[in-house]
Amino acid sequence: MADKASDSSKSTDADNPVIPKSSGGKPMGMLPKVLLAVFGLLAAVVVVFLIVVAVQPSQYRVERSTTIDAPPEEVFAHVNDFHQWEAWSPWAERDPNAVAIYEGPDAGEGAIFKWSGNDDVGEGSMTITESKPHERIGIDLAFVRPMEDACDVEFIFEPQGDGTKVNWAMFGENNFVGKAFCLFMDMDAMVGKDFEQGLASMKKAVEGEAGK
């Protein structure tokens, strides 16, 4: 009888393996393992994302050009004076009620234009840092809203027959946020579209004044 009891005990232990318990004495299920796997996967995704962002170009440049049927001095004047931007700027019509402030000289080096408007135009300022008559205009562009950033803008004017070729460019450094932004948004297409619209409006305004 004793041997039979012993055999029965051994059989029971084999059929009922010990279930691991947590420190609180409760059985541990598969949930902790699943959570660890999920966290591990998320960590791997984050690491890969950080690496992809880090290897993106540290600089950017967007530029567009057009030819205007007017001499360089006439085209130059429409850019060198911020007061005249309202006639061709692609952003002016997006918020007619935007607040505009002009500081410094009326035109040329040192002229400053500040604006604050709706979400389409944001808030920022432009300062002319270089004004080489009929050839080049350099501008410092600073954004305050929707996010703080800064870049350089230049306009190059080249005689072309009886007209002028105008090249409008924006360029700067890409920080981490900028690199991440460029992964999801095509800056060249987005800003370039605005430049194309602005240059078309400039062409219309300048040639209209010249009666062409």
Successive 10-residue mean pLDDT values, the chain, 212 residues: 47 50 54 76 74 70 95 96 95 89 96 94 96 97 89 96 95 73 71 94 90 65
Question: Residue 73 and residue 209: Cα distance in Å, rounded?
Answer: 13
What's residue 55's pLDDT?
A: 65
Please give the span between the terminal C-alpha atoms of the chain, in angstroms, as a whole number. Answer: 119
Using DSSP's 3-state secondary structure scheme, residue 156 falls into strand
Region of residue 167 (left: phi > 0; alpha: psi -120 to 50; beta: else): beta
For the stretch 87-93, contacts whose Cβ atoms lie closer than 8 Å and that sit 24 or more positions apart, written own/partner, are 87/201, 87/202, 87/205, 88/198, 88/201, 88/202, 88/204, 88/205, 89/198, 89/201, 90/194, 90/195, 90/197, 90/198, 90/201, 91/120, 91/121, 91/194
Q: What is the pTM of this model?
A: 0.70
Which helix H or strand E contains 202, and what residues bound it?
Answer: helix 187-209
What's residue 2's pLDDT?
A: 45
What's residue 5's pLDDT?
A: 44
Residues 113-131: b if buried by 16+ CB within 10 A, e if exposed: bbbbbeeebbbbbbbbeeb
What's residue 36's pLDDT?
A: 79
> Using CB atoms within 10 A of its CB, is residue 64 exposed (0-12), middle (13-18) or buried (19+)?
buried
Amino acid at 154: E
What's residue 179's pLDDT?
A: 64
What is the β-pairing status of strands 163-173 and 149-160? antiparallel
What's residue 8's pLDDT?
A: 46
Of the candidates 63, 93, 60, 91, the residue with the CA atom closest to the CA atom of residue 185 = 60
Residue 68: strand pairing partners: 164
